[in-house]
Amino acid sequence: MGINFIFMSPKDVLKKYFGYEVFRDTQEKIIDFVLKGNDAVVVMPTGGGKSVCFQVPAMIFPGITIVISPLIALMKDQVDGLNAIGIPATTLNSSMSNDEQRIIINRIQNNEIKLLYIAPERLTGDGGRFLNYLQQLPVCLFAIDEAHCVSMWGHDFRPEYLQMALLKKTFPNVPIIALTASADKITRADIAEKLGIPDAKIFISSFNRPNIHYFIERKKNAYGEILEYLEKHKNVSGIIYALSRKSTETLAENLTEDGFPAACYHAGLDAATRAKVQEDFKKDKVKIIVATIAFGMGIDKPDVRFVMHYNVPKNIESYYQETGRAGRDGLHSDAILYYSYGDITVLKNFASIENNPQQSDILLKKLDKMASFCSANQCRRKMLMEYFNEEYTENNCGSCDFCLSKRETFDATVIAQKALSAVLRTEERFGINYLIDVLRGSKSEKIWKQHKEIKTYGIGADISKELWNVYFKELIDQQYLKRIEDGNFSHLVLTEKSKDVLYRNEKVYLTQQEERIEAVEENVLGFDKELFEQLRFVRTELAAKEGVPPYLILGDVSLQELSTFLPQNTSDLEKISGFGEIKIEKYGSQFLNIVKGYCEINRLHSKMDQKRSGKQKKVLSKIKPTGPSDTKKQTLYLFRAGKTITDIAAERSLAITTIEGHLSEFILSGEIKVTEIVEENKIPAIKLAIKNVGDQKLTPIKEFLGENYSFGEIRAVIAEMKRG
């Protein structure tokens, strides 16, 4: 019994199986092109949505699509994901028993399978037996995922991929779609040639990842800052990259001790341990992984919310690739890098490859670019895009440390002149620390006697050591000074630009970073965090029961939409991202019940009328939303406008308890009087109840008081008593 073939449009397939309303950018064009039988090379960043480009055609073609993928772990995840949405896909690999393989081959024979995933060595190995076998099947499309593996220029060359050239020779009429996230030009050009499809059309998407926010911080108290970040972002998954095995271990241990359970991952662990760490991460059993770069290849986890670099990566390509593992699902994610000059020095030693000056030179140049990327005063996103030869014309991306900092420049000509003349008068032979000591007139023995006699000695005593450090670094960044490495020692020398300052009185402007502002959140409607947590909890339970990663049940995007638009019935649910037919059938009522129950308790109304398919994000993203501290103020304004707690909760789509919480805080701070919330004659009874049962839990107080007293009134009085 084969699958009944009914023609569906690409859009129908996207909706029915994936539960998505619209295609992204180029997806539809690529799909149409492939459906016409053409060869294509698709270059799209990680998370761009490459899979859909061959999975949708696979469901429309009458026969079978063969997908070549380099890693068994990735294949298995994709197959599981497809099966979970009702798409018949499977994989054949060497780890299966003969019986298992026979069953699968039977299903293929019966035309029951739409996508077959295999490793490249399987395809061409065994004296071409498998290729012969394929010739008997109605193969309609070959999809070659991670196609950069075919190029020796790529970062992940696999010789087995070269055999893929056989495909076009053996199946001249079957279209090939090759997909990669490689941003590197030489690799891109090489793919079509090596696959024997030189006339393939190349589809290139933008490499901008707007949902990833980029932060590069000087490494001063990195560990403390990481803790602070984790404290603010509980329950989310993230990866922290570090340079050495040892440091991943120490960092993971420390984080665990500090209350953030983390596992470490590096090439020194045995295969079983590594597999377990990956599995635990996918299943949300461990949220934080501290890893060397070895981690990430075999992982397509869509909800990685942050990627941190505890050490500087060795080049911009690696940085882009590693940070790219965040936010595949398109939701806001952070990329945070802690930058120190010390790391660059360590990496420099690694980059010097013995007996290969040419390669060392390339590596060092790439490292140099990485270093200037870190220290430059420019939009990170713009620099990244330009590094990959893509134009970025926005003048403020609103989502990187540079664009989110308020800065002021000031005339620093005199400061610069002092610094530069200190360099000049010590004959360009010293490093920053020594120069600062000279400028500040240090009495230390380290300072040469003759340097205590020069004019610049002590001329900068009014400026602190720390501040001089900042100034020197910026003078280097702006190329008024240049750092020269000399073994373990580095010294500063003057540049063309500095001569203009010293001899032609050219003005110098330095910037002073004032404060960091919060990024404007895209989702202005705002989702109900409490409901989101409830839904997440249920998802985790369902996933554990089925033994699959939670994201296979439903993605974070779906949960956010549920807790934003509050669907009330199945036809509402069809409009929620990720709810295709199967997901509605399997989990629809469970999730609906939670949403409905939550709405009832908190007296919330559905907001489905505000959901405009796909486009709403863009339309709304221009409006400035309210930051976290503004949310409480908004409650206060509405309260002052005479609205009841219930009204405010409904209007703001927040839980009543949340609104009560906000108001209690204002009682505590004295902005609201307790009598504005509780009738005066009720207060003594509430106080009495609190004295009797304590103020740790609300329910016993409520039980003590009975029907006539609400939780809100109790919370208000507790706040009032705390105010004392």
The partner in contact with residue 400, picked from Zn ion, ligand ADP, Mg ion, none with C-beta cut-offs of 5 to 8 angstroms by kind, is Zn ion
Residues in the chain: 724
- Contact residues for 563 (Cβ-Cβ < 8 A; gap 6+): 527, 528, 529, 531, 532, 535, 595
Q: Mask of contacts with Zn ion, 390-419, x by CB under 5 A?
A: -------x--x--x----------------
Choice from 52, 164, 222, 379 touching Zn ion (CB under 5 A): 379
Q: How far is the CB of 53 from ligand ADP (least distance, A)?
A: 8
The partner in contact with residue 47, picked from Zn ion, ligand ADP, Mg ion, none with C-beta cut-offs of 5 to 8 angstroms by kind, is ligand ADP
The partner in contact with residue 328, picked from Zn ion, ligand ADP, Mg ion, none with C-beta cut-offs of 5 to 8 angstroms by kind, is ligand ADP
Residue by residue, DSSP assigns 319-373 as HHHHHTTS-TTSS-EEEEEEE-HHHHHHHHHHH--TT-HHHHHHHHHHHHHHHHH
Complex with Mg ion: residue 141 or 263, whichever CB lies closer: 141
Complex with ligand ADP: residue 284 or 720, whichever CB lies closer: 284
**Could you tell me which residues are beta bridge partners of residue 490?**
485
**For residues 685 and 709, is the Cβ–Cβ distance under 8 A?**
yes
Complex with Mg ion: residue 209 or 491, whichever CB lies closer: 209
**Could you tell me which residues are beta bridge partners of residue 481?**
494
Q: How far is the CB of 397 from Zn ion (least distance, A)?
A: 3
d(CA 689, CA 701): 6
Q: How far is the CB of 484 from ligand ADP (least distance, A)?
A: 42
d(CA 19, CA 558): 10
Residue 436 found at the interface with Zn ion (CB under 5 A) = no
**Could you tell me which residues are beta bridge partners of residue 308?**
240, 336
The partner in contact with residue 324, picked from Mg ion, Zn ion, ligand ADP, none with C-beta cut-offs of 5 to 8 angstroms by kind, is none
Complex with Zn ion: residue 63 or 210, whichever CB lies closer: 210
**For residues 359 and 314, is the Cβ–Cβ distance under 8 A?**
no
Dihedral (C-alpha) 34, 37, 42, 48: value to the nearest 10 degrees? 20
Cα–Cα distances in angstroms (integers) from residue 434 to residues 25, 412, 455, 492, 529, in the given order: 55, 21, 16, 10, 53
Q: Which stretch binds Zn ion (CB under 5 A): 378-386, 430-438, 683-691, 692-700?
A: 378-386
Residue 381 found at the interface with Zn ion (CB under 5 A) = yes
Structure tokens at 338: 């802690």
Residues in 673-692 at the binding interface with Zn ion, rule: CB under 5 A? none
Complex with ligand ADP: residue 28 or 217, whichever CB lies closer: 28
d(CA 415, CA 708): 70
Q: Mask of contacts with Mg ion, 11-50, x by CB under 5 A?
A: ---------------------------------------x
The partner in contact with residue 191, picked from ligand ADP, Mg ion, Zn ion, none with C-beta cut-offs of 5 to 8 angstroms by kind, is none
Cα–Cα distances in angstroms (integers) from residue 56 to residues 15, 23, 87, 138, 293, in the given order: 10, 11, 10, 17, 33
Point out which residues bind ligand ADP (CB under 6 A).
20, 23-24, 27, 44, 46-52, 300, 302, 328-329, 555, 577
Q: Is 623 helix (H, G, I), strand (E, B) or coil?
A: coil
**Of all residues in this chain, which one has the CB nearest to ligand ADP in the complex?**
49
Complex with Mg ion: residue 48 or 712, whichever CB lies closer: 48
**Count of residues touching Mg ion (by CB under 5 A):** 1
Burial environment of residue 158 by CB neighbours within 10 A (0 to 12, 13 to 18, 19 or more): middle
d(CA 631, CA 634): 5
Residues in 43-82 at the binding interface with Mg ion, rule: CB under 5 A? 50
Complex with Mg ion: residue 252 or 552, whichever CB lies closer: 552
Complex with Zn ion: residue 391 or 600, whichever CB lies closer: 391
Complex with Mg ion: residue 90 or 442, whichever CB lies closer: 90
| Chain CA centroid to CA 294, Å | 18
Q: What is the contact surface with Mg ion in residues (CB under 5 A)?
A: 50
Q: What is the contact surface with Zn ion in residues (CB under 5 A)?
A: 379, 381, 397, 400, 403
